[in-house]
Every structure is written in structure tokens, then in C-alpha cells.
Chain A
Amino acid sequence: MNDQGRKLLLVGDNPFQGISHLSQERARSRGETVVSPADKAANIILASVKNGADGFSFSVSEHALSILQTLHERKSIDQVSLYPMVPYAFEYVRVATQTGTPGLVKRFAKQVVLSGDVKAILRGLWSVVRMNPEGFAKTYLAYELSRIKSAAGKQVKLVSVVLNEVIGDMGLALGFDWLFRSFISHLSKRRITPGFNTRNFPYLVRKFDEWGIELDETLIVTPFNKAGFQMNPSKEECEETLASMSCPVVLAVSVLAAGYYKPSMAADYLASLDNLKGLIAGVSNEQQASETFRLFREAL
């Protein structure tokens, strides 16, 4: 829910990054694989907000940061609540492919040093000496937070930071409860809601329950759509788990099943899910932004 007790509606950044989960081929043929210029993306975000969206959810890429900077320069950043997702796994995997894992580590270390965040640098060095994974995680988070603040300025409304599913789901599979506890503790101290993006929603809820980690003060970002696309292990289990939760903490993604459904069809299905906190939807232009968010605001 947002501050007015209504469903939380966020603009997603996939269309700005040239991503289509339905078909890469379709995205290419429509010229959608090219990233939207920051100016255009900022216009779309503001059009979405004008028509009912509460904020912007994005992976912390250089491109997303340039969009934040544009909003900041236009003095519009205070209109948009931010829900960044970290890490931007695609970029790290691409660098690892090109330079190998050592190259990735070197580049990351260089970026942390260049960020000039002395505290993060010292904590990072200490973590290397001690081989302390929690220290690495905190150093990384501090680095990402400093990048967002530096792009968006002091007026930034940073509501939540969401852990990307590649890291979160790996941590879940390996039983790394320390990773989740550390993430929650680090962000909660800064009054930022810790979020977890997952494609294994029932598994995450079961594990958190087993580990005694409360979900009430967190955000879970996970696919919900009529087709059951990316709803593992099944649409039914995801719906049952959602219904069993004590309070609404789930933000639905892939609500259009990556373009498989029109927003009106998606809205009917989402309206039938009582326990949803809200949703994230990607839009490609200002007209689509106003139509989509107006529709979701009316339907949910």
C-alpha cells in the first residue's frame, strides 16, 4: 500500500534498458533493445506519476543513474519514490564474461576506490583481510547507496533497496540466512525497507519462516500474472502462499507476463489477489504510461 492506503504502483525500468522477457527477437524488430535516452525515460516516469504511479523501480545501472540525474536536474526527483534493485547482475555477468572473475573483482574494487567513500574503502579492505562476507556485503551496499545519492541528490526519497534475484535466490538455495539478516539489519538502521526480488516466492517464505526472519517489515518482489509465467514452482503455490501471508508485503512484477497480456487483462487478475501490496509495470512511452497507470489505479 502507498501512503494513502492504496495499492503501491511503480514504474519499472526494463523498457528503458531494452529488455523483453517475452521475445528478444520482438524487442529487436521494434527497436526496443536500444536503451531509451535519459530525457525520454524521465518524461515517461513523470507521466506515470501524474497518472497514479508512486515511484520508480530500477536496477542500479549507469543508465538508470543518468535518469535519476536528469530528474534531479529538472528538480522533479522529489515527486518520485525510489525502489532500486542491486546488484545490476547483467552488467556484472557481462564484465565477468569479457574479463573473467578476477577482472570483475578488479573493476569493482577500482570503482569503490574512485567513489571516494572512505568508510566503504576501509570496510572493504578490512573485509579482505578478515575474509568476512558480511563486510563485503555491507561495503557493496554502501557503495550502491552512495552512487544513488550522488546521482539523485539530497532530495532523494529512497524508500526501499531490493536485492536482485540472482544473488537472493542463490543465497536462498545455499541457506545463507546471514546474507538476508545482514541486508535487513544494514538497511533497517538507515530507515530503508529491505526488499527481496525472487522467482521462488513460496520457497523464500518457507525459508524465512524456518530461519525466524520476519517478513512484515520487508518487501517481496515476485512475478504474478494470469499465465503463471515465472511463478515457480507453480501459479497455484504462489497464490496460496500470497493468501497465507499475515500482511501485504508483495509487489507483483511480470504482471503483463512480459507483454503476453494487455494491461486490462492483467488488472482483472491482479484485482483478484487480495494480499498484494502493489505492482511494478514497465511502459515504453508517455501515452502508454498514462493509460497503463490510470487503468491500474482505477482497477486496484
Chain B
Amino acid sequence: MRKLRFAVIGLGKMGLLHASLLNTFEDVQLVALCDKSALMSRFCRSIFSSNGVVVVNDLDRFSELELDAVYVTTPISSHASIVKDLYAKGIVRNIFTEKTLASNYGQAKEMCESARKIGGKTMVGYMKRFSVVFGKAKELLAQGKLGEPYSFHAYAYSSDFLGLTKNSKSLASRGGALRDIGCHILDIALWLLGDLEVVNVVPDHEIGDAETSSSFTAANSNGLEGRFDISQRMPNYRMPEFGCLIECPQGKIDVNDDRLLLTLKDGSRKIWYRHDLEDNVRFWLGETEYYREDFEFVNSLLENRVCEPNFETASKVDYLIDQVRKRDRQG
């Protein structure tokens, strides 16, 4: 059977990670890589030459490769123009982009519209959905035994920019704390709790294109209310950490990257660590979530079914981020 032909655009750490994982899938052939940097593409050409992978620094070269899918892992600011090009030039119908989908909701809507017209599969790299602990939270909420959530507190913390005194170009290119790490917990909250609207942005936090922290409240029409705290300047967060406390009438779920603690109304408690939740994958790289994410995208193509989170779903994160920034500007 013919293998699915994949290419990756952007050879930073995420591009190389996805290229590596895709290369372990039996149904996938890694055909081409693209990076606009002449130096990077020249270096990768020397590495990949023996594997038969084409390395280019111009997207147009993809036209002749009969690609089934492309991964876009470039800086966020370039996602919209690259996706537009891929569709417009008929290079590919199925696209995965790293998070966030776009630099703003306007761009995200245009990308969703283009994807609808083309009719291919899409996915955005919100890999936390593929974590076994957050998956357990989704399962517990879906069972309905805890009742409708009425309150939440979600956070995304890292020490990445703790003590950094001068402006970081990288911080700006990563879109600030909201787009860099905040988007993951926004996606998790939307996935677990449904659509939300921003209510209030807490002042005294630097907001702009390259903020390092942000706090705000959000709610839905069913009376659910909660707060988001996002910071890349927290002490003692060696790795970024994401978590959410969800309160329901019959108990509460306290979940983070490592474990889920369920406390029922009668005071009984149960804890699940990753160890308890079948966390192994066919090939580990970075985190087990990345393998499951790529597996979902590849399988959606093989089985010709909708993939989640797709452009449409992921655009809701861009919507919320725009709301936070707009409300902050309005004071």
C-alpha cells in the first residue's frame, strides 16, 4: 500500500520532533523538509541526504512532491501566510500547524474559511489534550457523575523568563506568555468545560504582544465562572506546568501534568499518576503526548474522519486571547 507522503516546514525543535516521530510511523513517508534559513537547510541537507529526504528553502519546491500532508512548525506570525500559500498553490489539502493557529482571531477565521473550502483535514498542536492525566479528567467529567462544573481555576506556569532583564527577541517571536504557554491551558479549559467568554482582565499585569504573565476571569452562560493565571516568570518551575481545579456539585477535580486528584463530596479521595494511566507509546520523543497527537492526525487521514483539535476548534483559543488583549486595552 502507498504510504502517506508528509513534509515539514520549519526546522526548529518542534519541526525536528514531528519529523522524527512521523518517520517512525509505518504508514508515513517523510518526503521533504523546508526551512527558509539557507544555513539551516544546507545543514539539514547534509544530514538527510542519505535518507532520501528532500530539503528545500523555498515552499514552491513542494509542488512537485505529491504531498498528502504538511506540518507547519514555523513561528506563529508566519502560520497564516504559509497555510494560505499551501492552499492557494494546491500543494496540499491536509495541514497540521503548531499552536497557536494564528497571530490573531481574524487570521484564524480566514484560515478556517480556506480549510472549509479546500475540505482537507486540519489539526493544531495542542498536545496537552493527549496527556493521559488530562484525558482522565475529560473522562470523569463526561461520565456526568460529578454534575455540571460551576467553578474553575486554571494555570500555566514556567520559569522560562524568570530573571530575564532585557527584552527577548524569542519571547516576542513566541507571541508572549498567552500564545506561548497560556494557549495550552486555554485549549484544555475549552475542551473540558466548553465555550467561554472573557469577563474581566486583572490589572497590574503587563499585557501586549510580548507579555510574560496574564490573569483574567472567564465564564459561560450556564453560570460557570473561573480564573486563568499564566506566567513565564514563576520561580521553581523547571518545566512548564499546566493545571486546572474544577469544582462540581458532587466533587472536584484537581489535575496537572503529573497527576489527577479526585475529591468527592463525602471527602473520599483518589489520585492517579501518569504511572496508573497506561502512558506508554510506540515511540517516545519529548513527551508521550506528541506521539499520540501525531497518531491522531495520521489516523484521521487514513480513516478519512474529522481530526481534533482542528482549525475550527483551535480558533477558539485565538478568540479568547484576542478578547483578553482587547479588554486590557479598554482598561
Q: Which residues of chain A have a CB within 8 Å of any CB of chain B?
A: 18-19, 22-26, 28, 33-34, 90, 93-94, 96-101, 103, 131-133, 166, 169-170, 173-176, 178, 199-200, 203, 227-235, 257-258, 260
Closest Cβ of chain B: how far from A36's Cβ, in Å? 14
Contacts of A100 in B (CB 8 A): 169-170, 173
How distant is the Cα of A173 from the Cα of B294 in the complex, in angstroms?
Answer: 14
Give which listed residue, B16, B237, B238, B275, contacts A19 with CB less than 8 A. B238
Binds A, one of B84-92, B142-150, B252-260: B252-260
Beyond A19-B238, A23-B273, whether A233 also contacts B282 by CB under 8 A is yes
Contact yes or no, A174 B170, CB < 8 A: no
Contact yes or no, A133 B46, CB < 8 A: yes
Give which listed residue, A98, A175, A233, contacts B51 with CB less than 8 A. A175
Contact yes or no, B164 A98, CB < 8 A: yes
Closest Cβ of chain B: how far from A46's Cβ, in Å? 26
Contacts of B241 in A (CB 8 A): 24-25
Contacts of B21 in A (CB 8 A): 173
Q: How many residues on B have C-beta within 8 angstroms of the other chain's C-beta atoms? A: 48
Give which listed residue, B51, B171, B236, B286, contacts A34 with CB less than 8 A. B236
Give which listed residue, A33, A131, A229, contacts B279 with CB less than 8 A. A229
Contacts of B46 in A (CB 8 A): 131-133
Contact yes or no, B160 A94, CB < 8 A: yes
Task: Say yes or no for B161: interface residue by CB 8 A criterion.
Answer: yes
Contacts of A199 in B (CB 8 A): 284
Contact yes or no, A170 B16, CB < 8 A: yes
Task: Say yes or no for B17: interface residue by CB 8 A criterion.
Answer: yes
Contacts of B5 in A (CB 8 A): none
Closest Cβ of chain A: how far from B269's Cβ, in Å? 15
Contact yes or no, A174 B275, CB < 8 A: no
Contacts of B78 in A (CB 8 A): none
Contact yes or no, A131 B42, CB < 8 A: yes
Give which listed residue, B42, B161, B274, B281, contacts A233 with CB less than 8 A. B281
Contact yes or no, A178 B160, CB < 8 A: no
Give which listed residue, A98, A178, A257, A258, contacts B50 with CB less than 8 A. A178
Contact yes or no, A203 B160, CB < 8 A: no
Closest Cβ of chain B: how far from A169's Cβ, in Å? 5
Contacts of B259 in A (CB 8 A): 23, 25
Interface string of B150-171 (1 = CB under 8 A from A): 0000000000110010001111
* A-B contacts, 15 listed (Cβ < 8 Å): A19-B238, A24-B238, A24-B239, A33-B238, A96-B13, A98-B160, A99-B168, A103-B170, A133-B47, A170-B16, A174-B48, A175-B51, A227-B275, A232-B284, A260-B275
How distant is the Cα of A179 from the Cα of B238 in the complex, in angstroms?
Answer: 29
How distant is the Cα of A97 from the Cα of B75 in the complex, in angstroms?
Answer: 12
Closest Cβ of chain A: how far from B131's Cβ, in Å? 14
Interface string of B17-54 (1 = CB under 8 A from A): 10111011000000000000000101101111011000
Contact yes or no, A28 B284, CB < 8 A: no
Task: Say yes or no for B295: interface residue by CB 8 A criterion.
Answer: no
How distant is the Cα of A166 from the Cα of B238 in the complex, in angstroms?
Answer: 17
Task: Say yes or no for B12: interface residue by CB 8 A criterion.
Answer: yes
Task: Say yes or no for B283: interface residue by CB 8 A criterion.
Answer: yes
Write the chain A residue with the least CB distance to B43. A131
Known pairs A25-B256, A232-B281; list 19 more (Cβ under 8 Å): A19-B238, A24-B237, A24-B239, A24-B256, A90-B238, A96-B13, A97-B160, A98-B170, A100-B170, A103-B170, A133-B43, A173-B23, A173-B285, A174-B48, A175-B51, A176-B51, A200-B283, A230-B284, A260-B273
The 3 closest A-B pairs by CB, nearest first: A173-B20, A199-B284, A23-B258
Contacts of A228 in B (CB 8 A): 275, 280
Contacts of B51 in A (CB 8 A): 174-176
How distant is the Cα of A233 from the Cα of B283 in the complex, in angstroms?
Answer: 6
Give which listed residue, B256, B273, B275, B285, contacts A170 with CB less than 8 A. B285
Contact yes or no, A169 B169, CB < 8 A: no
Contacts of B283 in A (CB 8 A): 169, 173, 200, 203, 232-233
